[in-house]
Chain A
Amino acid sequence: MIVASCNKVLVKSYLHIMKQTLFFLFVFMYAGFATGQDKKDIEVWDFEKLEVYIQASTGKIKIINFWATWCGPCVKELPLFEQINRTYKNDTEVLLVSLDFSDQMESRVIPFVEKQELSAKVILLSDDDYNSWIDKVDPSWSGSIPATLFIKRDGKKIFFGKKFENDELSKLVDELLNQTQ
């Protein structure tokens, strides 16, 4: 009798452990599945789509940064834009426009964006006829990257064909926010 009840307890605790193990297994499997699904989905835009985005009024300051994964200075300043995106989420909209070639989306762009854990929206601009659209971003842009276009709440544009250093960007955003409040 005692032996039997002992066995029962053993079986019970064994089942409990099994249940727990299974539970954790499922959690892990689900987590793995979820991160798999969560894989950054980066849209490919042509310039027409970017132009619509530039012109649309959102009530926020739009910050459009042109970069590429292999552009050293661009990669260096990305954290500054990321910081703005996290700090001023309610007042600004950061769009990181990758100029990598679209056939490098899987091999370069997605792995880079995941590794950097970018929270800002990233798109890939696949519009090789550069001469047809660079002037539409800003006539003073020579085409070198990094480059950044700010669109204030009143729709006015400010363009910078340069790399931002340290707190230059946050100071500029502060100033733009003060102007339009």
Chain B
Amino acid sequence: MKKFFVLLILLTLVLSGSTIIEYGYKVGDKAIDFKLKNVDGNYISMSDNPDNNGYIIVFTCNTCPWARGYEQRIINLHKKYVPEGFPVIAIQPNDPEVQPGDSFEEMQKRAEEYDYPYPYVIDAGQDITIAYGATKTPHVYLLERVGSDYFVRYIGGIDNSPRDGLLATEKYVETAIDQLLAGEEVETTVTKAIGCSIKWSTVAKAKLKKL
């Protein structure tokens, strides 16, 4: 009997270990729009600006050192690609109950202090984070608009130099956008990067288990 329980626990562990990235979008999938509260109090949707060519959706937060390390580069990405119709929307995915440093008030402070030129919205119920399949911060989803739909063209990291952007030899997001703008296929559609795990609420954890 004891052995059976051990086996059961082991099986649960193995399953939860391997299914962790089975949910969420893959490249080519249609991404849902959202209506999330920005640090200025307004609600933001992608369809607010229906003429954009797409969006750089960045799941990021206040508290993760990797996210903070990329903060300036996210600002630069936005400034560089707003004229090309690819603005940034930064989504804070962590549950503030679990990670108080990522509360809405703390987000407001950080956005003001670092003068974010893009919306910094909170995914209060974590449903968008689950739908997209973000697992960490920072985690980028590059979306291209086709008609009134948004399609995932790239998922992953920002570049290959977390410590110092100047040393990056590959700028994944920039390259992908440039290829889209040139009417080409995105060559590198998925990359992986180390990041901080998403801090899930108990409710969100239960939802994830069902997926």
Q: Which residues of A come within 8 Å of B, CB atoms?
A: 66, 68, 70-73, 99, 101, 103, 128-132, 134-135, 140-146, 158-163, 168, 171-172, 174-175
- A31 vs chain B, min Cβ distance (A): 36
Cβ contacts A to B, 20 pairs, < 8 Å: A71-B196, A71-B197, A99-B194, A101-B162, A103-B163, A128-B161, A128-B163, A128-B167, A129-B161, A131-B157, A131-B160, A131-B191, A140-B18, A143-B135, A143-B136, A143-B195, A145-B197, A159-B17, A162-B20, A163-B197
- B27 vs chain A, min Cβ distance (A): 14
- B71 vs chain A, min Cβ distance (A): 16
Q: Any chain A CB within 8 A of the CB of B13?
A: yes
Question: What is the total number of residues of chain B having a CB less than 8 Å from a CB of chain A?
Answer: 32
List the 4 closest A-B pairs by CB distance, nearest first.
Answer: A144-B136, A134-B192, A142-B135, A144-B197
* Contact across chains for A73 and B65 when beta carbons are under 8 A apart: no
**What 1/0 flags go to B127-158 for Cβ under 8 Å of A?**
00000000110000000000000000000110
Residue of B10, B160, B167, B194 touching A145 (CB-CB under 8 A): B194
A-B contact number at CB 8 A = 92
Please report which residues of chain B, range 2-59, place their CB below 8 angstroms from some CB of chain A when the two chains form the complex. 6-7, 9-10, 13-14, 16-18, 20-21
17 additional A-B residue pairs with CB within 8 Å, beyond A73-B197, A134-B192, A143-B135: A128-B160, A129-B160, A129-B161, A130-B160, A131-B191, A134-B194, A140-B18, A142-B21, A142-B135, A143-B136, A143-B157, A144-B135, A144-B136, A161-B17, A161-B20, A172-B10, A175-B7
* A145: chain B residues within 8 A (beta carbon): 194-197
Smallest Cβ-Cβ distance to A158: which chain B residue = B14
Residue of A70, A135, A175 touching B65 (CB-CB under 8 A): A70
- Give bound CA distance, A103 to B26, whole Å: 35
Greatest chain A CB density within 10 A among B14, B161, B163, B193 is at B193
Smallest Cβ-Cβ distance to B69: which chain A residue = A101
* Contact across chains for B16 and A162 when beta carbons are under 8 A apart: yes
Q: Any chain A CB within 8 A of the CB of B198?
A: yes
- B148 vs chain A, min Cβ distance (A): 30
- Give bound CA distance, A143 to B157, whole Å: 10
Q: Known contacts A162-B16, A162-B17; decide if A168 and B194 are in contact (CB<8 Å).
A: no
* A143: chain B residues within 8 A (beta carbon): 135-136, 157, 192-195
* Contact across chains for A160 and B192 when beta carbons are under 8 A apart: no
Greatest chain B CB density within 10 A among A73, A142, A163 is at A142
- Give bound CA distance, A70 to B194, whole Å: 13
* Contact across chains for A130 and B194 when beta carbons are under 8 A apart: yes
- B130 vs chain A, min Cβ distance (A): 14
- Give bound CA distance, A118 to B16, whole Å: 28
* B14: chain A residues within 8 A (beta carbon): 158
* A129: chain B residues within 8 A (beta carbon): 160-161
* B9: chain A residues within 8 A (beta carbon): 168, 171-172
Residue of B10, B16, B17, B197 touching A171 (CB-CB under 8 A): B10
- Give bound CA distance, A71 to B7, whole Å: 30
- A108 vs chain B, min Cβ distance (A): 10
